[in-house]
Amino acid sequence: MGDLGTAQFSAVVVVLLLVLFYGGTFLISTRIGKKEENADGYMTAGNNIGFGISAASMTATWIWASSMYASATSGYTYGISGPIHYGLWGALMILFIYPFGKRIRQVAPRAHTLAEVMFARHGRSSQLMLAGSNVVGSIISLMSNFIAGGVLISMLSPFTFIQGVFCVAGGVLLYTLWSGFRASVLTDFVQVVAMLGAVAVIVPVIFFAAGFPAAFETGAANLTPEQGNFFSSEAFLGQGAPYIAAVLAYAIGNQTIAQRLFAVREDLIKPTFVTATVGYGAMVIGVGMLGVLALYLGFEPTGGDLNNLIPEMAATYLPTVLLAVFFIMIIGALSSTSDSDLSALSSIAMADIYGQNISTKADANPRTMLLVGRITMVVATAIAIAFASLQLNILDLLVFVGALWGALVFPVLASFYWDKVTNKAFTVSVIAALALFIPVRFSLVPMSGPFGLLVEVLSVVGIGVVLGLMVFGFLGLRVARVVGVVAALASAPFVFGFLRDYATLSASLVAYAVSTIVCFAMSIGNKERFDFAVIQDVTGDFDEDPADVVREAETALDETDSDLAKEA
């Protein structure tokens, strides 16, 4: 190790730490591997995971290295309220999943992906639209985590950024390829226990090593008035509000979350997501406060790259042993989400692309499905490595993907509750939402005149939609309608002539509003009603258990004998 400002591990130490972590996770995955792998087990582990494993996996999946880096970036950018906006709203979104999750499992108890359910509900265009959005989202997520790993390794060792990316990508692929989703959830349990313990020790140590609490008194001059204000409107509009909309979309549209929803025992959905809510909030807010500390200290990350903030704070203030613990913590955080993304991508390729488009559910070969899933993991890893070399801003990526998924939230949820929603309404509403989202998000059209007014009108509607959907899951449609209307009317005076300056927030709200308006308008007049019982018949296991086949045959024979006896 060098001095505190330039602390580095030797190449040998870093290799040993990586071998320790990834070798251990690989050993765990080999212990649960099966000689004759099951395609359904590879995707959802039999839909029967218990509370401890499922809660830990949900927490670990939601907590990734990008979450920690982005929370610290938010603290450094917006002051003390930044990590609160990032961590609190993200935690609450986990909580908001469970009422919707109970409905999803009710209509599709043995599904593998949400897109698979959309195929049963609507058809191929809706299925492929949702599957495609998840492919894009998971690739970006993988890329973000590989960036975080590359930055960490390059900063704390002689290895370059690209070498660090390859180390992380290879390690994650090594153990996930073996047993798919089962490997992901079991290693998640070990990783989240280690991460929670590490955060409980590392964050306080850095604070006190940096001179807490005196640093918050002497460094107050480094803050702008907005950064020093806990109730900063700049922090809410720039971070809090966009993240509320983004993480709601993540919760509903993200296959990594849906996969755990389909895997956990149905009666354990609520305690699983409540526990994950608390674990996520505590860890992410805690780590985010390091960004606030850096702001007070006047700490400048190398090259102004905020992705360097957390690793450089750790290298500056942690002793050697705790720096090694920090290294493992970040590697564990990014790995737990990367393996979830690989499992999600493999499930989409197995169930949605091969199982229901190239083949059919009845004719799909489980062995071929497994091969497709494993090849998908390798290809996805290669693509993410290639894009990771761009070193894009992680916080911007997270908000962008979440907002992009906002176009899908209402059509997806409405499809599980409302029997009038059609395939055409789903498809057109999402395309229309994206058509407006992109020019608003990237300021391709000047936000002035009639277009700026249109964006603000739609933003008002979007506010009502977001809050209405949050309330709907817990309190039902009637209360949700009231909350949505009141929220829209109450926010209108503050939106017009003002919100157009916040492109990220406006674009996200526009996506919600347009998809909701178009989907509702195209569905309300539909006289045909969908029978939700059809979904259970179309979705389900691809592997047939011979014992189940025998039991079904015996049941059918018993019923036939009974009918013949009655006729006699």
The DSSP result for 215-254, as a single string, is: HHHHTGGGS-HHHH-TT-HHHIIIIIHHHHHHHHHHHHH-
Residue 381 has a pLDDT of: 95
Question: What's the rounded mean pLDDT across residues 149-174?
Answer: 91
Please name every residue paired with 157 in a beta bridge, in sequence order, or none if there are none: none
Which of 158-162, 228-232, 414-418, 465-469 comes out lowest in average pLDDT?
228-232
Residue 479 has a pLDDT of: 96
Residue 390, pLDDT > 70, answer yes
* Mean pLDDT over each residue of the chain, to the nearest integer: 84
End-to-end, the C-alpha distance of the chain in Å comes to 89
- Residue 32 pLDDT grade (very low, low, confident, very high; cuts 50, 70, 90): low
Residue 519 has a pLDDT of: 96
Helix crossing, 181-209 with 51-62: angle to 10°?
A: 60
- 445 near 439, Cβ under 8 Å? yes
- Residue 138 pLDDT grade (very low, low, confident, very high; cuts 50, 70, 90): confident
The tokens describing 37, both together, are: 């792998």
Helix (H, G, I), strand (E, B) or coil at 96: helix
| CA 9 remoteness from chain centre | 32
The tokens describing 535, both together, are: 């979904």
- Residue 518 pLDDT grade (very low, low, confident, very high; cuts 50, 70, 90): very high
- Residue 248 pLDDT grade (very low, low, confident, very high; cuts 50, 70, 90): confident
Residue 551 has a pLDDT of: 43
| CA 417 remoteness from chain centre | 23
What is the Cα–Cα distance from 361 to 47, expressed in whole angstroms?
Answer: 18
pLDDT tens figures, 206-221: 999 988 888 888 888 8
- 43 near 180, Cβ under 8 Å? yes
Residue 564, pLDDT > 50, answer no
Q: What secondary structure does DSSP assign to 12-45, as a single string?
A: HHHHHHHHHHHHHHHHHHHHH--SS--HHHHHHG
Residue 550 has a pLDDT of: 38
Per the model's pLDDT, the better-predicted residue between 402 and 255 turns out to be 255
What is the Cα–Cα distance from 499 to 399, expressed in whole angstroms?
Answer: 17
What is the Cα–Cα distance from 346 to 376, expressed in whole angstroms?
Answer: 6
- 83 near 288, Cβ under 8 Å? yes
Question: What's the rounded mean pLDDT across residues 500-524?
Answer: 91
The tokens describing 309, both together, are: 């903030």
Residue 37 has a pLDDT of: 60
Helices (H), 157-223: 161-179, 181-209, 214-218
Residue 13 has a pLDDT of: 93
pLDDT tens figures, 267-322: 889 999 899 888 888 888 988 999 999 999 999 888 888 878 888 888 889 998 99
Helices (H), 348-393: 366-388
Per the model's pLDDT, the better-predicted residue between 459 and 401 turns out to be 459
- Residue 372 pLDDT grade (very low, low, confident, very high; cuts 50, 70, 90): very high
Question: What's the rounded mean pLDDT across residues 71-86?
Answer: 89
Please name every residue paired with 49 in a beta bridge, in sequence order, or none if there are none: 264
Which of 5-14, 51-60, 377-386, 416-425 comes out lowest in average pLDDT?
5-14
Per the model's pLDDT, the better-predicted residue between 417 and 554 turns out to be 417
Share of the chain above pLDDT 90, in %: 31
What is the Cα–Cα distance from 299 to 329, expressed in whole angstroms?
Answer: 22
| CA 216 remoteness from chain centre | 33
What is the Cα–Cα distance from 225 to 452, expressed in whole angstroms?
Answer: 29
Share of the chain above pLDDT 70, in %: 90
Helix (H, G, I), strand (E, B) or coil at 345: helix
Question: What's the rounded mean pLDDT across residues 443-452?
Answer: 87
- Residue 565 pLDDT grade (very low, low, confident, very high; cuts 50, 70, 90): very low
Q: Count the Cβ atoms, other than its own, within 10 Å of residue 285.
A: 21
Residue 544 has a pLDDT of: 59
CA 47 to each of CA 41, 96, 139, 352, 548: distance values in angstroms, whole numbers, following the listed order: 8, 21, 25, 18, 16
Contacts of 480 (CB under 8 A, 6+ apart): 468, 469, 471, 472
- Residue 388 pLDDT grade (very low, low, confident, very high; cuts 50, 70, 90): confident
Residue 89 has a pLDDT of: 84
Domains of the chain by start residue, with CATH: 17-30+38-87+113-392 (1.20.1730.10)
- Residue 547 pLDDT grade (very low, low, confident, very high; cuts 50, 70, 90): very low
Residue 402 has a pLDDT of: 61
What is the Cα–Cα distance from 477 to 459, expressed in whole angstroms?
Answer: 21
Phi and psi at residue 113, in whole multiples of 5°?
-140, 155
Residue 69, pLDDT > 50, answer yes
Per the model's pLDDT, the better-predicted residue between 35 and 478 turns out to be 478
Residue 1, pLDDT > 50, answer no
Residue 462, pLDDT > 90, answer yes
What is the Cα–Cα distance from 179 to 183, expressed in whole angstroms?
Answer: 5
Residue 560, pLDDT > 50, answer no
Residue 555, pLDDT > 80, answer no
Residue 33, pLDDT > 70, answer no
pLDDT tens figures, 97-108: 888 989 999 999
Note the pTM of the prediction, 2 decimals.
0.82
Residue 153, pLDDT > 80, answer yes
User: If phi over 0 gives left and psi between -120 and 50 gives alpha, with beta otherwise, what is residue 4?
Assistant: alpha
Please name every residue paired with 369 in a beta bridge, in sequence order, or none if there are none: none
What is the Cα–Cα distance from 65 to 336, expressed in whole angstroms?
Answer: 9
Residue 6 has a pLDDT of: 43
